[in-house]
Amino acid sequence: MNNEFFQVSEKVSSAADKALKKIQPCFAKTDEITEYNQQKVLSAFIKNGVSEAMFAESTGYGYGDRGRDVIDRVAADIFCAEDALVRHNFTCGTHTLAVALFGMLRPGDTMLCATGLPYDTIHFVIGIDGKGDGSLADYGVTYKQVDLKNEKPDYDEIAKRVKEEQPKLVYIQRSRGYSLRPSLSCEEIAKIIEIVKANSNADVMVDNCYGEFTQKIEPTQVGADIIAGSLIKNAGGGIAKTGGYVAGRADLVEKISYRLTTPGLGREVGATLGHSRELFMGLFFAPHTVGEAIKSARFAAALFEEFGFGTTPKSTDDRFDIVQSVLLRNEENLIAFCQGMQKGAPIDSFVTPEPWDMPGYDSKVIMSAGAFTGGASIELSADAPLREPFAVYMQGGLNFHSAKVGIMLAAEEMAKRGLI
């Protein structure tokens, strides 16, 4: 790091040099995946004849909005799906997932989660433990789950439960959420889908948040009927201000469109209000931005491994999402990490993050998030619930060089407090 701009101790600087040397060979693999995905995205733009005229805003009902219709086709091609729905009025990843679930499920249906307990905010959508007014449970949808076995999908139990329950929908969460289990590769997702399809007629939905463009293939290419994700994560490239997407089978996308708006109208309405340019541009930049985020995650893992902290995934492990967990052992370390990282943020670097009762979570949460877009986890950010095992979940980085600074300042803050 150039000490002309940032003051970092020799202890942290030396550890950073060792960390960077350790992960340098992994960067070539990331670049290969990025280049493949960037060409895939460019090809989809060219195939669908994206033009400047499609950036024009629509108002009112939004009838005949060409940009809105074409970005759906572009996304469908990128994800090798029959159809897609890309909209700025999906407010976040949880909202997108909720709309998809409510669109696909009906009273009396059973939903089976094959990857253990889902992410905290989804508990309210499903109605787990009676949470969530207006949840799926309130509308007569039964929830079941198959717990993980040694932090991995329990394939034998999935087969058994799917055969017994005959669910309408099997739900797979690709990323780890606030847990330490590994994120799932498309190959692991394919194995779950193969088991489901062999034992039932269930539709399979994959929560693809944090996973887009981390591999050369997506879950829709290994049999997923629907995938869903957020545009302030990977698929928005750090440019989309808000939004989400679903992609997959055309009949299911249509059902979901009726839940997003209303039966009879579906995708035909919805003014873009000038968001189209950002959605197109964000999707175009997404593969490169995801590559930068993965490099940043590897560096964070390697640096804190130098200081003796546990990490998951390890710095040289294959990557199937952009999330990096660092096991910081106690509350003091966790708070220092987040407060130090905030000092390297381009926005609100002067703010000191403090734990707070964040909506949708059971524990207090501390979050470092100095982002151009509020809550965008494709930008360098770190957050953690203040509970055992005191793991911080770091993700994002619009470019590796700036993310590297933020990560080193997190270590520097801990060093200043005598914690490393």
pLDDT exceeds cutoff 90 at 361: no
Residue where a domain stops, chosen among 274, 292, 315: 274
Residue 168 lies in a domain: yes
Would you give the DSSP letter of residue 301? H
Residue 2 lies in a domain: no
Query: pLDDT category, 2, cuts 50, 70, 90?
Result: low
The whole-angstrom separation of Cα 113 and Cα 210 is 18
Q: What percent of the chain has pLDDT over 70?
A: 99
Tokens of 187: 């190959």
Task: Please indicate, yes or no, whether residues 372 and 333 belong to a single structural domain of this protein.
Answer: yes
Q: Return the pLDDT at 177.
A: 79
Residue 50 lies in a domain: no
Residue where a domain stops, chosen among 274, 304, 328: 274
Task: Please indicate, yes or no, whether residues 63 and 32 belong to a single structural domain of this protein.
Answer: no
pTM > 0.85: yes or no: yes
The whole-angstrom separation of Cα 79 and Cα 41 is 9
Contacts (Cβ under 8 Å, ≥6 apart) of 339:
352, 353, 368, 413
5-23: average pLDDT? 96
pLDDT exceeds cutoff 80 at 336: yes
* pLDDT tens-digit readout, 398-410: 999 999 999 999 9
Tokens of 172: 């797979």
* pLDDT tens-digit readout, 76-110: 999 999 999 999 999 999 999 999 999 999 999 99
Task: Please indicate, yes or no, whether residues 223 and 250 belong to a single structural domain of this protein.
Answer: yes
Residue where a domain stops, chosen among 219, 249, 274: 274
Secondary structure element (H or E) that encloses residue 142, with its range: strand 142-145
Task: Please indicate, yes or no, whether residues 264 and 359 belong to a single structural domain of this protein.
Answer: no
Q: Return the pLDDT at 358.
A: 79
Tokens of 364: 């207090």
Task: Please indicate, yes or no, whether residues 115 and 177 belong to a single structural domain of this protein.
Answer: yes
* pLDDT tens-digit readout, 213-229: 999 999 999 999 999 99
Query: What are the φ/ψ torsions at residue 250 (nearest 5 degrees)?
Result: -60, -40
Range in 48-52, 156-160, 180-184 the model is least confident about: 180-184
* pLDDT tens-digit readout, 256-298: 999 999 999 999 999 999 999 999 999 999 999 999 999 999 9
Task: Please indicate, yes or no, whether residues 258 and 399 belong to a single structural domain of this protein.
Answer: no
CATH number of the domain within which 136 lies? 3.40.640.10
Domain that holds residue 213: 59-274
Q: Which residues pair with 172 in a beta bridge?
A: 206
Into how many domains does the chain fold? 2
Task: Please indicate, yes or no, whether residues 133 and 210 belong to a single structural domain of this protein.
Answer: yes
Q: Return the pLDDT at 1.
A: 65
3-state DSSP assignment of residue 152: strand
∠ CA 261-113-73, rounded to 5°: 40
3-10: average pLDDT? 90
Task: Please indicate, yes or no, whether residues 73 and 20 belong to a single structural domain of this protein.
Answer: no
Residue 388 lies in a domain: yes
Residue 263 lies in a domain: yes
Cβ burial, residue 242 (10 Å; 0-12/13-18/19+):
buried
21-40: average pLDDT? 97
Task: Please indicate, yes or no, whether residues 167 and 231 belong to a single structural domain of this protein.
Answer: yes
CATH number of the domain within which 27 lies? 3.90.1150.60
Task: Tell me which residue of 214, 247, 243 sits closest to 228, measured CA to CA.
Answer: 247
Task: Please indicate, yes or no, whether residues 19 and 100 belong to a single structural domain of this protein.
Answer: no
42-47: average pLDDT? 98
pLDDT exceeds cutoff 70 at 23: yes
